[in-house]
């Protein structure tokens, strides 16, 4: 009979949540910066 598998799903959820926050947070910030740069007056204006 094998040893019991550790019950630590909370750490897995925390790891994936932190990853989602960083990836989505940076993605949203970058898209906002790009859209703001597109809206800003072009050099010839």
* Range list of H helices, the chain: 9-39
Structure tokens at 36: 């703001």
To another protein, the closest distance from the beta carbon of 45 in angstroms equals 8
User: What is the nearest approach in angstroms of another protein to the Cβ of residue 36?
Assistant: 9
Residue among 36, 39, 38 at smallest CA distance from 28: 36
Q: Which residues bind another protein (CB under 8 A)?
A: 2-3, 5-9, 11-12, 14-16, 18-20, 22-24, 26-27, 30-31, 33-34, 37-38, 40-44
CB of 7 to another protein, least distance (A): 6
For residue 14, what are its two tokens?
């925390």
């Amino acid at each position: 009979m094998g040893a019991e598998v550790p019950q630590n799903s909370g750490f897995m959820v925390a790891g994936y949540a932190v990853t989602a926050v960083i990836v989505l947070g940076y993605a949203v910030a970058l898209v906002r910066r790009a859209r703001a740069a597109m809206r800003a007056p072009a050099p010839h204006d």
